[in-house]
Amino acid sequence: MDFAGKVALVTGSSGIGAAAAVRLASGGASVLVCGIDPAANAALDRLASERGLALRTRLTDVSDEAEVEAAVAECAELGGGIDIVVNSAAVHPYGTVVTTAAADWARCMAVNVGSIYLTGRFAIPHMIRRGGGAIVNVSSVQGHNCQPNVAAYVATKGAIHALTRAMALDHAGDKVRVNSVSPGSVRTPILSLAARTYGGEGVSEEEAFARFGAAHPLGRIGEPEEVAEMIAYLASDKAGFVTGADFLIDGGLHAGLAVR
């Protein structure tokens, strides 16, 4: 996909967010990535420099209104507006509604869902002035079905599906398309957290990943770059008649029943 002349804002500087940012920049887009982890930001900046990509990071708390407003303004300066937003930033607390602390619940909602509201609030006016744009929200298979002990996380991922539909309908007349992707198990820092949480004593991360992957009909976990390809398609003009939809990237996880 050709993104020459396009300007993109991406939230999340590791995992799927980093892969999406690199994919868009590799296609010619000017990309600003908002991340809260200085080490992840630095690693992505180094990669962009090595590959000669028009990509830079900005230390940003995407749940903070003033910081997101400033980030959107900085992004718009890259090329006179904004054409693409990819919302990938997320946190993943574990717990039930009983065991999840109120602060953790609020933080999860503010980052995973609130950041999509904030980037939309400030970036969509720039898109409208450009004649349209595309927003891709990163949800999860856990917005459809879920594991135990992840109440806050799955609540946000289901909310992303609903918010995606609402934004798509509200801004279709503005030629702003809004879609979501729902990955299965993908090699990201969040999956590394899952490996540490559920892998078991003495089990390496790769061994845990292999077990997670075995639950998918394709027999493996996904790679961030595979999700980034779908994001790039949805952000491109090739998906000009696609809005308000969710796309599973789950290795066939939802195609069958667990019963054997």
Which positions are catalytic? 153
For residues 3 and 25, what is the distance between their CA atoms, to the nearest angstrom? 8
Tally: H helices and E strands in the chain? 9, 7
- Alpha-carbon distance of 140 to 228, in angstroms, equals 14
Sign, CA torsion 182/187/193/198: positive
Contact yes or no for 13/34 (Cβ under 8 A): yes
Phi and psi at 18, nearest 5°, equal -65, -45
- How far lies 59's CA from each of 45, 56, 70, 98, 156, in Å? 12, 10, 11, 33, 23
Nearest to 96 by CA among 154, 161, 158, 182: 154
Cβ-contact 225, 189 below 8 angstroms: no
